[in-house]
A and B are shown apart, each in its own frame.
Chain A
Amino acid sequence: MSLLAAAGRFQGRLVLTHRDYLIDLVRTPLLAAVFLLLIRHNDRPDLLANGLLAPVLMGVWSMAMLISGEVVDNDRWLGTLELQIAAPADFARVVLSRVWVTTVISLLTVLEVAAVAVLGFGTVPHVPHPGVFAMALLATAVATAGTATLMAALFVATRTARTFQNSLSYPVLLLGGVFAPLDRLPEWTHPVGRLIYLSWSSDLLRDALTPAPVTSVAWRTSTILGLGLLTGALGRLLLGRVVRLVRENGTVGLR
């Protein structure tokens, strides 16, 4: 637990002092303005839930990718990655705690988006199912952390993965249905899209923001959690393999 706290403090300080990491906290309110403008201009108040959720999910996802990629990358660059891996503390846990803290910080975007809605558009977001909303948000955070762990593992393991880090934004957001639900995309995209936890998260969170009763909450929440834990476990496995390879070969990278 103390390790978790230490890594968390470290990551928290890093995010708050290194201004590059604030990128999503700066961009999210602006994106919220984009979506709310679209809704207002087209006079579609029924899409308000979509417009409010999209910037939050985009911010959470983007921040998790940035941290899992950039931090590992910067660490490699500074030569501290080897040191961290060689440190006696379980490397996977260090990575996980750093990802966790970032995910928690990224939930600040919820407040930001709400502020933009209220101050910029005079719309007070209404949450008809607060319990479902909170639970879905929590499950989303868990799944984000899990996925970020897998990504961090991939980034540590291969340098090529880092090249594609940028590409994981809009394709994933599109298939994750963060604004337009996955159901609106062609049928053939659904199998891939349903593997992305965001598609479940965005559906459930949207439902929590609309007055109609939410169905099969438990099943949908556990799907989000399940996907998150699965990716997290995969990430841990991969990290373990990387650490073993480092001890055997003395260098990072599976390539």
Chain B
Amino acid sequence: MTDGTNGRPGDTRPGDGEPAVETTGLRREYRTRRGPAVVALDDVSVTVERGEVHGLLGPNGAGKSTLMKILSTVLLPTAGSGRVLGHDLATEHRRIRPLLGIVFGGERGLYPRLTARQNMRYWAALYGLTGREGAVRSDALLDELGLAERADDRVETFSVGMRQRLHLARGIVGDPRVLLLDEPTNGLDPLAARQLRELIRRLAGEGRTVLLATHDLAEAEALCDRVTMINHGRVVAAEAPKTLARLVTHQERVRVRAEEPLLALVRALPGVLGVEPDDDGTALVTVEDKESVGRVLAFVVERGVTEVRTELPGLEEVYLRLVHRDETRSVVNR
């Protein structure tokens, strides 16, 4: 995959050391025929370091796709600026385009009447590969993504999962340094989605920068080094999934394998805010601070509990809390 078949002029690594993607105060409005302009993005500043897998997380309609379109150079921002690998998004789109790979979710974006191989070679030509380079690279990618056996079948006969893998193969045919993935697992069944995520992880392992827009928290948590959350076109938070968890709660959590009546005793300890038993025989104990964590740990270990661990809130909870907080704020502001 990193065979570097094509030495494009854009590969001179301009602005080395600059982040892969950096936007400052991006704003995008859509004019509507009647009524005021709709603001899709408002003051969005995002930084994605080279080699990072960065998640763009938010509910549907949050502005993820608009941001992806601006980054893929098909849409200009109304205000603000952005750079991809050191090139300005507004003025240097010709330099950016060869460096980008783009994959949109869903069924569209391939030629249904062409075979998988023909689609690949078509896009290889668009990304400036010569005929032979295109053939070699198409075969290699089809093989790598497990499509070699169906390479000469028309895409219209493919399952959604196969199409999505072909989308991914198409997206990296130009050996891009930055990969933009917009809801790539949309419409996939869980198994196909997992396979696709493994592929994405592998591609990221090859030193590419990946920007992944998704509304799927598990996906972001599984794949991303850092996550930027957007809602209503604004950045709500940008952190590593774990750090993000700390953002919403300063509370500490301890998970213990214990049952009543022991849990009742724990509940009575000073500094314990709550005890929630789960179906799997464990319970989540929320406490005020680090001191209280020690107290709870000592208490349960003394009473013979062997399975104890501290944990952070999952991304799902963070997401809901942050989005909720954002929503209440915008209601208050209105």
Q: Are chains A and B touching directly in their complex (CB below 8 angstroms)?
A: no
